[in-house]
Structure 1
């Protein structure tokens, strides 16, 4: 029997139970199915590894995936600048720091201009406005997965373009 067929049987035996359990535990049925499929895909990608307890592996992997999804969907705690008191506003003390901030701002704007408009919108809503991924998806009429991909693409692009400013 090939390794693929034994791996396939290992997850296939637990498939319906896994989907049922994680659909019940998640906020909606689609999240439950997604985490179940992600767990199965992760198990099948473990080419050389022997998984001694496929059921436990699948359930633990699904639980971890669901936790990560829920963390991503929680809004980041941000306070708009206009709500800060005057002494809490960020300040720049010298000319060198002011020049550095100016260069960083220009580089950020240039890097954002290189992105497609939808990536710019997703980045702005998420990082500047503090919206959650589901809120952005609903507002733009996109799937949550698409918004996550646009956000990831934006962050990778900005990280690459702004490397020179990291300390």
Structure 2
């Protein structure tokens, strides 16, 4: 029994072309695949029946996703510690600084572990990954108001738990 070829209708017909186009534009196949995956997953979650032009939707939404990723990466530009001036260098010279840093990191991990998973995700995606609250809301399928509440809860909880580590 022979398999039927896939239909040329709908979003799936444009997926391979989309990946090729965005790989050329972004320079990274992985970024293109991530963007396309997020867009398709969001479309399927919300129902693709409302999408009148699947090709235009996929291209536009993927472009927005890739632009957002580039903005996030630019916000997270990192400098080597060697590139900092002495005044900017975060390293302290006293022998206990490494111990204090390790204790603070452990306290932060414990504080985060005490929070519900969604609060943890919101905090980490915003503070470490650089996602905006609107982007997090879209990724998690939540309202922006809910994401803001999770963020407030996480920040308040972490603030309370890390009081012993604040400089005197």
The TM-score normalised by the length of structure 2 is 0.49
Structure with more helix by fraction: 1
